């Protein structure tokens, strides 16, 4: 159940996660779950097609060497093994217990396991925290509390089980392992969904790739996906980690997983669902609307070198290439094909996937021309034409030329038609030799199964669809770049004391004063409480000013017609002041006064924002701003603290970068102070702890290079914790 659902159900938040447990207790539980010496099955069945029977079948079939204890009070023997009436009757406390009992019996069974001294339990039954029923959620919570107190970890509830094919500890009821024969291998799969723990397994085995781990965590009530992933990524046999995530509850633990994976050069590929959940709908500030959970997930994954994909097909599509150890240093793609049409389609697809299809160097082109007939193309893509049919050594010669040059980071070999009459075996050998000699990624596209089989046998990744092949090469290049980047060292900034307030939002003048005191470049302004003060403010700040209502009850002033722009005389300033006060009174709003601010000029309106995400913590937004900020939807997110250089890199990924750089005679924009303002905003939101929920600065006027930036509007939102503290202090008085 996600945080919003828990709040609606009126139930307590999740328990503190693994980091709060003693290391010895936590580590022992996970080790017992993944590498148990003994396994008990509560609800053991003679029928291998039942939930309580399937794990017993697998433990025997897949070579588990530890002790196995079926538990069923109505049986003396189950599947040829001695059966026990209850967990108390076992000759030892088992490392792992599979609880395959009905939902109504689960809580007592888990309590009995904890009392017996079991180290870990897999609860397969549903009907707990995944429900919207508060009593079911609380039953799950109580079960976890008691298990933890006894030193036992729980996987699930609602878990399909864990499967370690390295040890034969296949504590799962999935049918997949009957349908598709297991083989130990270098891939780990961890999923919050039972189906998604085995669907990738099936696709990988179809490709001949072995799987070491296939685990389903279910509700993550105790042991989370991230905890399990950390244990799996530390298995030296694992060289690729695949994740299916529905909700992230322990982002710091997932960051630890990514760091451990980087150290071992283990790529992590993840599906994270929930891109369009209603809970991610627009909040009451631009920052909340744009920096929604899904964008934050994207930013978190990028920062920690995790590659995000959309579905199970993409989750496994690059597996062979990753397992080759290919980590390309660039994005230059060279295409070789016997089809001009395939060359054209590859040239169209590559740029959209961020790959560079650059011309070959003159010496390379000359060497290729010496190999090819005079009607062939020696640019990039290289069209070898139908000559490949009559000259079986032609492809080997071309790949040998390319292997001796530095023109390519990635190579696509596209063979839309081959087969009878073609020496496909020689082609496959040439492709494998190219990969072996260069260490560079190569992907083959061939829709003919008979042709693909040769390349598969030679150990060269082959795809039926050319676009899939190019997409995998692009994924390798971009993911390798992410993995090479190291997250910045987190240095906590000095704490900042957020100003007190009466409601959710600070009045704009109060918010602007707070931000200006902490180094943000706020527009020159005055808070006026009388018409004469407004008149004097115009004389100081003119010749043109903006006049705005100031009330903590009216955070979005423009929506209520409470902003008047571009006033150039005292009389109109006074009229605006009087009108805005009247409007605020009519709306029943608290009146802090009226702001008179200098009209700022510049080249472009940008936006800066910061929010405290409930899972990922503080995050800062920078991008294209103004009235149409949501419609433009051109922003980047960063996790503070970060550097000016990192902000500049983030801006370079946006569509508006062409305006920042200057075009058609326009000078570049003053990006440096904008980057410094973003850094400072990050320090403010981190330093404020949990007292602030968000800060929305829009627009931020950016001038030409040397003209600086100025924040025109500021909306500062207090956190629910700060609001509760205010309410508590008010009641105590």
Same domain, 594 and 703: no
Q: Are strands 545-550 and 525-528 parallel, antiparallel or unpaired?
A: unpaired
Q: Is residue 516 part of a domain?
A: no
Q: Is residue 503 part of a domain?
A: no
Whole-prediction pTM: 0.90
Residue 160 domain boundaries:
3-317
Q: Of the candidates 546, 580, 598, which is a domain's last residue?
A: 598
Same domain, 282 and 332: no
Q: Is residue 518 part of a domain?
A: no
Lowest mean pLDDT among 29-43, 380-394, 683-697: 380-394
DSSP three-state, residue 555: coil
- From the list 367, 650, 604, 606, the residue with the least C-alpha distance to 485 is 650
User: Cβ–Cβ contacts within 10 Å for residue 628, how many?
Assistant: 10
Tell me the C-alpha distance between 715 and 721, whole Å. 18
Q: 398 with 383: CB under 8 angstroms?
A: no
Same domain, 141 and 202: yes
CA quadruple 436, 437, 442, 448: dihedral sign: negative
List the CATH number of the domain containing 430.
3.40.50.261
- How does residue 663 score in pLDDT terms, banded at 50, 70 and 90? confident
Q: Of the candidates 598, 627, 650, which is a domain's last residue?
A: 598
Same domain, 61 and 196: yes
Max mean pLDDT range (110-114, 495-499, 729-733): 110-114
Q: Is residue 442 part of a domain?
A: yes
Q: Of the candidates 484, 501, 533, which is a domain's last residue?
A: 484
List the CATH number of the domain containing 298.
3.40.50.720
Domain count along the chain? 4
- CA dihedral in degrees (683, 688, 690, 695; nearest 10)? -70
Long-range contacts of 483-487 (CB under 8 A, 24+ apart): 483/262, 483/265, 483/267, 483/305, 483/327, 484/327, 485/305, 486/262, 487/255, 487/259, 487/303, 487/304
Same domain, 441 and 307: no
List the CATH number of the domain containing 625.
3.30.470.20
Tell me the C-alpha distance between 115 and 123, whole Å. 16
Q: Is the pLDDT of residue 213 over 80?
A: yes
Tell me the C-alpha distance between 67 and 633, whole Å. 58
For 61-90, write each residue's pLDDT tens digit: 999 999 999 999 999 999 999 999 999 999
Same domain, 612 and 645: yes
Q: Is residue 510 part of a domain?
A: no
- From the list 368, 715, 676, 650, the residue with the least C-alpha distance to 514 is 715
User: Cβ–Cβ contacts within 10 Å for residue 495, how many?
Assistant: 11
Sheet bearing 442-445, strands edge to edge: 382-383, 333-337, 410-414, 442-445, 462-463
Distances (CA, A) of 706 to 635, 645, 654, 658, 671: 23, 18, 22, 18, 9
DSSP line for 667-701: PPB-HHHHHHHHHHHHHHHHHTTTSEEEEEEEEEE
Distances (CA, A) of 558 to 210, 370, 583, 603, 608: 60, 70, 13, 22, 18
For 141-172, write each residue's pLDDT tens digit: 999 999 999 999 999 999 999 999 999 999 99
Tell me the C-alpha distance between 716 and 612, whole Å. 12
- How does residue 729 score in pLDDT terms, banded at 50, 70 and 90? low
DSSP secondary structure code for residue 19 in this structure = G
Q: Is residue 359 part of a domain?
A: yes
DSSP secondary structure code for residue 220 in this structure = -
**Quick one: pLDDT at residue 499?**
82
Same domain, 277 and 303: yes
Q: Is residue 609 part of a domain?
A: yes
190: Cα within 13 Å, side-chain hemisphere:
26
What does pLDDT average to over the chain?
90
Same domain, 224 and 359: no
Q: 43 with 106: CB under 8 angstroms?
A: no
For 9-23, write each residue's pLDDT tens digit: 333 444 544 433 333
Quick one: which H or E segment has residue 409? Answer: none
Give the Cα-Cα-Cα angle 142, 147, 152 (nearest 5 degrees): 155
For the chain, give the longest Cα–Cα distance. 98
For 444-492, write each residue's pLDDT tens digit: 999 999 999 999 999 999 999 999 999 999 999 999 999 998 776 666 6
Same domain, 179 and 209: yes
Q: Is the pLDDT of residue 377 over 60?
A: yes
Tell me the C-alpha distance between 69 and 118, whole Å. 13
Same domain, 292 and 337: no
**Quick one: pLDDT at residue 249?**
85
Beta-bridged to residue 655, according to DSSP, are none
- From the list 446, 473, 191, 165, the residue with the least C-alpha distance to 322 is 473
Tell me the C-alpha distance between 3 and 8, whole Å. 9
Quick one: which H or E segment has residue 63? Answer: none
Residues present in the chain in total: 733
Same domain, 86 and 221: yes
Percent of the chain with pLDDT over 90: 79
List the CATH number of the domain containing 547.
3.30.1490.20
Lowest mean pLDDT among 278-282, 369-373, 663-667, 675-679: 278-282
Q: 126 with 83: CB under 8 angstroms?
A: no
Alpha helices in 486-638, H assignment, sequence order: 508-517, 531-541, 570-586, 629-632
Q: Is residue 533 part of a domain?
A: yes
Q: 711 with 520: CB under 8 angstroms?
A: yes
Same domain, 578 and 609: no
């Amino acid at each position: 159940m996600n945080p919003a659902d828990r709040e609606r159900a009126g139930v307590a938040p999740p328990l503190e996660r693994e980091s709060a447990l003693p290391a010895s207790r936590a580590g022992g539980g996970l080790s017992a779950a993944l590498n148990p010496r003994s396994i008990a099955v509560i609800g053991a069945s003679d029928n291998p097609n039942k939930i309580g029977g399937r794990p017993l079948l697998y433990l025997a079939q897949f070579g588990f060497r530890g002790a196995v204890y079926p538990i069923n009070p109505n049986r003396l023997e189950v599947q040829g093994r001695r059966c026990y009436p209850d967990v108390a009757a076992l000759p030892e406390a088992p490392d792992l217990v599979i609880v395959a009992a009905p939902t109504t019996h689960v809580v007592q069974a888990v309590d009995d396991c904890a009392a017996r001294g079991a180290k870990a339990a897999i609860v397969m039954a549903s009907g707990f925290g995944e429900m919207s029923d508060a009593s079911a959620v609380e039953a799950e919570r109580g079960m976890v509390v008691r298990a933890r107190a006894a030193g036992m970890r729980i996987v699930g509830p609602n878990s399909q089980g864990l499967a370690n094919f390295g040890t034969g500890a296949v504590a799962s009821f999935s049918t997949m392992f009957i349908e598709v024969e297991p083989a130990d291998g270098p891939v780990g799969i961890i999923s919050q969904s039972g189906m998604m723990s085995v669907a990738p397994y099936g696709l990988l085995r179809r490709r001949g790739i072995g799987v070491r781990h296939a685990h389903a965590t279910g509700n993550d009530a105790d042991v989370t996906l991230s905890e399990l992933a950390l244990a799996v990524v530390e298995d030296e046999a694992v060289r690729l980690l695949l994740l299916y995530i529905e909700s992230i509850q322990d982002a710091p633990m997932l960051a630890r997983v990514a760091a451990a994976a980087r150290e071992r050069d283990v790529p992590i590929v993840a599906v994270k669902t929930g891109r369009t959940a209603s809970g991610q709908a627009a909040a009451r500030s631009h920052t909340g609307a744009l920096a929604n959970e899904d964008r934050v997930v994207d930013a978190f994954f990028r920062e920690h070198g995790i590659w995000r994909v959309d579905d199970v097909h993409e989750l496994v599509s690059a597996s062979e290439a990753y397992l080759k150890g290919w980590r390309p240093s660039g994005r230059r793609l060279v295409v070789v094909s016997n089809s001009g049409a395939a060359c054209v389609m590859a040239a169209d697809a590559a740029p959209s996937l961020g790959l560079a299809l650059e011309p070959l160097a003159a010496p390379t082109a000359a060497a290729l021309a010496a190999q090819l007939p005079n009607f062939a193309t020696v640019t990039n893509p290289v069209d070898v034409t139908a000559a490949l049919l009559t000259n079986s050594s032609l492809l080997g010669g071309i790949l040998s030329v390319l292997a001796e040059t530095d023109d390519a980071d990635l190579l696509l070999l596209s063979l839309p038609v081959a087969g009878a009459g073609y020496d496909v075996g020689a082609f496959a050998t040439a492709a494998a030799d190219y990969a072996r000699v260069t260490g560079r990624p190569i992907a083959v596209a061939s829709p003919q199964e008979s042709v693909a089989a040769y390349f598969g046998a030679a150990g060269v990744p082959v795809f039926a669809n050319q676009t899939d092949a190019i997409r995998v090469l692009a994924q390798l290049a971009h993911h390798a770049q992410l993995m090479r980047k190291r997250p910045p060292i987190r240095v906590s900034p000095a704490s900042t004391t957020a100003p007190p307030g009466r409601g959710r939002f600070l009045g704009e003048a109060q918010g602007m004063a707070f931000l200006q005191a902490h180094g943000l470049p706020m527009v020159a302004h005055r808070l006026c409480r009388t018409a004469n003060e407004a008149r004097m403010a115009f004389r100081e700040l003119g010749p043109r000013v903006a006049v705005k209502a100031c009330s903590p009850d009216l955070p979005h002033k423009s929506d209520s017609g409470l902003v008047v722009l571009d006033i150039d005389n005292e009389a109109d300033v006074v009229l605006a002041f009087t009108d805005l006060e009247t409007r605020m009174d009519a709306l029943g709003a608290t009146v802090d006064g009226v702001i008179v601010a200098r009209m700022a000029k510049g080249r472009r309106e940008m936006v800066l924002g910061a929010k405290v995400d409930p899972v990922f913590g503080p995050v800062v937004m920078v991008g294209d701003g103004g009235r149409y900020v949501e419609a433009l939807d051109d922003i980047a997110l960063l996790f503070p603290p970060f550097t000016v250089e990192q902000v500049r890199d983030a801006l370079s990924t946006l569509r508006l970068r062409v305006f920042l750089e200057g075009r058609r005679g326009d000078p570049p924009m003053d990006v440096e102070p904008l980057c410094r303002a973003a850094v400072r905003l990050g320090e403010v939101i981190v330093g404020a702890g949990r007292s602030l929920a968000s800060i929305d600065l829009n627009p931020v006027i950016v001038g030409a290079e040397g003209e600086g930036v100025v924040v025109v509007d500021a909306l500062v939102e207090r956190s629910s914790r700060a609001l509760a503290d205010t309410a508590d202090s008010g009641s105590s008085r």
